Structure 1
Amino acid sequence: MIKAILFDYDDTLVQTRKTRYQTIYKLSEELFGTKITEKEIDAAWGLPAEEFLLNLFGRFSSDIHYLWSIYIEFSKKDLNIPHLNAFDFIDKYKNFVKFGIVTSSSEKVVLRELNELRVDTNLFLQIQTSDHTAVHKPNPNVFEPIFALLKKENMNKEEIIYIGDSPADYESASKFGFHFLGIAHDDRHTSYFQTGEIPFVRNFLELEEYLIDQYSFI
């Protein structure tokens, strides 16, 4: 039986790739007079927050506080967008299972965006960001902090599932001993899931059906 559902954040709960690529294009052109390519952003995507910014803009400035300030300033102009039914699903089942987030994004960004989206952060037992651990996906030890909290709720790994959109999500969660379900809002990683025979769904309505069918959810 599943007692806890943990989510990746970017591109799983919210449409970060779609939103933030536009932010990065605008920032690079307006402040640094250059055009960052989609390929460059793809190569940095998924890195811990500070590494991500330095990877993209480190050749212009090594001052991470400055890079953070301009990135946040520009990102406020491009509000993130939740995937359809994402937070409705969490609200619907909040009294039946524990929910959490494990992401490589920074706490300041995630909490600000959830506030902008008017999502109650109390829906989550823990929102674990890059600020909470020295290791990051695909390292399975990234789950140690949140699992320590779940163990206090008398849960074991067989009662926990992690839901994410990328190979790093699968590799870290499966190696740690959690169940895993991919969510493919687009086709970027569908071939990876299909080739590896990794279960995945396309949206949150399919996710709900899968959990009920496979795990006798609630």
Structure 2
Amino acid sequence: MIKAIIFDYDDTLVQTRKTRYNTIYKLTKEIFNTNITEKEIDEAWGLPAEDFLLKLFGRFSSDIHYLWSVYIEFSKKDLNVPHLNAFDFIRKYQNSFQFGIVTSSSEKVVIRELNEIKINTNLFLKIQTSDHTSVHKPNPEVFEPIFELLKNENINKNEIVYIGDSPADYESSSKFGFHFLGIAHDSRHIPYFQKEKIAFVQNFFEVENYLIHEKNFR
């Protein structure tokens, strides 16, 4: 029986790819007076926060504090947008499950964005970001800190499902011993999920049907 649901953050709960690609295009043009390609952003996407910034902008500056400041400045102009029903689902079932987030994004970005879209962070037992571990997905050890908290709640690995949008989410969580449910808000990773026979849904209405009404992972 599932007792805890942990989410990836970017492109799972919120539409980060759509929002931040626009941010990066504008920042690169206005600050560094050049253009950046979608392929270049793709190659950096999913890296831990500081590695992500250096991959994108390291050729212009190696000062991570400066890169953070301009990235945050531009990010504030482009508010992130929740995926439909994502946080409604969490609020609806807050008394039925322990909820958590494990993400490669930085704490200052995630907490700021959740505050901007008026999400109560107390809905989550833990919001674990790149600041909280020295390892990152697809390394399964990334889940050690949040699992320690869940063990204190008498929750075992086979009572936890991780919901994410990418191959790295699946590889890390399944190797750690969690159940996994893919969420494909767009078609990028559907071929991977299908090829590997990984359970996936395409929106949070389907998450509710899969986990609650159809009672999978029991």
Give the TM interval when normalised to the shorter protein: over 0.9
Q: 4+ runs of 1 displaced by more than 6 Å?
A: none
* 1:7/1:118 CA distance change after superposition, 3 Å: same
Aligned equivalent of 1:17: 17
Deviations 1:138-186 (A, max 9, x none): 0000000000000000010000000000000000000000000000000
- Once the two structures are superposed, residues 8-27 of structure 1 have per-residue CA deviations (whole angstroms, 9 ceiling, x without a partner) of 00000000000000000000
Residue in 2 that maps onto 1:187: 187
**1:46: Cα distance to partner?**
0.1
Alpha-carbon deviation of 1:215?
A: 3.1
Looking at structure 2, the residues matched to 172 and 70 of structure 1 have their Cα atoms a distance apart, in angstroms, of: 31
Partner of 1:96: 96
**Distance (whole Å) between structure 2 residues aligned to residue 127 and residue 189 of structure 1:** 25
Aligned to 1:207: 207
AA aligned opposite 1:148? E
Could you tell me which runs of 5 or more consecutive residues in structure 1 were left unpaired when the two chains were aligned: none
How much does 1:216 deviate? 7.5
Matched residue SS, 2:109: helix
Could you give the per-residue CA deviations for residues 23-59 of structure 1, whole angstroms, max 9, x where no partner exists? 0000000010110100000000000000000000001
Residues in 2 aligned to 1:215 and 1:105: alpha-carbon distance in whole angstroms: 29
**RMSD after superposition:** 0.8
Q: How many matched pairs?
A: 217
Report the Cα distance in structure 1 between the residues aligned to 2:158 and 2:54, rounded to whole angstroms: 37
* Unmatched 5+ stretches in structure 2: none
Distance change >3 Å, CA 96–CA 24, structure 1 → 2: same
CA deviation after TM superposition for structure 1 residue 214, in Å: 3.5
Secondary structure of residue in 1 paired with 2:113: helix
With the length of structure 1 as denominator, give the TM-score of the two structures: 0.98
Aligned-residue identity in percent: 78
Q: How does 1:1-218 map to 2 (within 5 A)?
A: 1-212=1-212, 213-215=214-216
Call closer, same or farther: CA 1:37–1:83 in 2, change over 3 Å: same
Is the CA contact (8 Å cut-off) linking 2:20 and 2:75 kept in structure 1? yes
Task: Assess, with a 3 A threshold, how the Cα gap between structure 1 residues 216 and 57 changes in structure 2: closer, same or farther.
Answer: closer
